[in-house]
Amino acid sequence: MSQLYRLSEHRKAPRRVFFNRTELNQLLSLYSRHVASGDWRDYAIDQVGGAAIFSVFRHTHDAPLFSIAKQGSTRHPEFVVFSGREKLTRAKSLRDALKVFNRKLKVVS
C-alpha cells in the first residue's frame, strides 16, 4: 500500500526578516540627515531571500547609492552595508553598521 504525501504541507516557509521599530527609527534618522544635506532623495524597503533591505537613492530612477541589509535569524541578526555590490561593513548591531556613514571624507591629491 502506498501513502500520499502533500509536498506543500512539508515545505518550510521562507524565513521573513523585518526591521523592528527601533531599527527603522535609526535608519530614518540617518536618511533624514542626508536628505537635509541634499545627498539623498528617496528610499525603498524590500524583502529578498530572507533579508530585509533599506536602500537609499540620489534620484528615484537610479541604482541605490547604499543598501543596508538585515540578514539571519530574529535572535542573531547581522547587518551589512553595501555600496553597489561592494560590502562596506558588517556588524552584529545596526548602530555599529551605521558608523560607516560617520567617517569623514578626505581630499586625495
Residue spans of the domains in the chain: they are: 15-99
Residue 82: all three cell numbers together? 553595501
Question: Is the separation of the CB atoms in 90 and 78 below 8 Å?
Answer: yes
Residue 49 has a pLDDT of 82
* pLDDT for the residue numbered 65: 92
Q: State the chain's maximal CA–CA distance in angstroms.
A: 79
Nearest to 30 by CA among 62, 55, 47: 55
Note the pLDDT of residue 29. Answer: 96
**Tens digit of pLDDT per residue, the chain (109 long)?**
678 777 777 666 667 889 999 999 999 999 999 999 888 999 999 998 889 999 999 987 889 999 999 998 778 899 999 998 999 999 999 999 999 998 765 656 6
Q: What per-residue confidence (pLDDT) applies to 81?
A: 95
Task: Give the number of other Cβ atoms within 10 Å of residue 90's Cβ.
Answer: 13
Q: Distances in Å between the alpha carbon of 57 and those of 12, 87, 91?
A: 34, 17, 22
Residue that is written with C-alpha cell 545627498 in the block: 39
Q: Enter the pTM of the model.
A: 0.80
Task: Note the pLDDT of residue 103.
Answer: 73
